[in-house]
Amino acid sequence: MPINNDLVVEVFEIERKFAALAAEKGIKEAFLEFAAKDAVINRNNKIYPGKAGITEYYDSQNLKNIKLEWKPDYVDVSASGDMAWTYGNYSFQAESESGEKIEAEGIFHTVWKRQADGSWKYVWD
C-alpha cells in the first residue's frame, strides 16, 4: 500500500510544533502537551509512564539554560493511518546547578498515535 504523503506531512508538522513549543515554553511543557494520556518516555534506561511519570522525570532534573533541538529525518505512517513513527538527530545543552555545561547528541525515536479527536499525540519517546 502506498504511503499517504498527506499524513507524513501532517506528522512532520506535529514534530515541528512539538520542537517549537519546547524552544518557546520549555521541554517539560512540550513533552506534557504532546503526550497521550498513556505515553511513556525512556530516559537513562528507565521508563516514566503517563503524564505523572513524565512530570516526575522533568521535575527531578535540576538543570538550567536547557536547549533541546531536533528534527525528524524520517517519518512513516501505518497503513491504517492511526500510528506513526519518527526518528532523527537531536542535540541537548544545559547547565547543572553548579554551572557545569552538559551536552549530548544522539538519535531520537518517537511513536505517535492518532487520538479520538483526530490529533496526534506521542505514546513513546
CATH number for position 63: 3.10.450.50
pLDDT digits (tens, 9 = 90+) for 35-56: 999 999 999 999 999 999 999 9
- Of 61, 112, 60, 53, the C-alpha closest to 86 is 112
pTM of the model: 0.92
- Say how far apart CA 50 and CA 95 lie, in whole Å: 27
Q: Which domain holds residue 32?
A: 5-124
DSSP state of 117: T
Query: What tens digit of pLDDT does each residue of 22-35 get?
Result: 999 999 999 999 99
Report how many domains make up the chain. Answer: 1
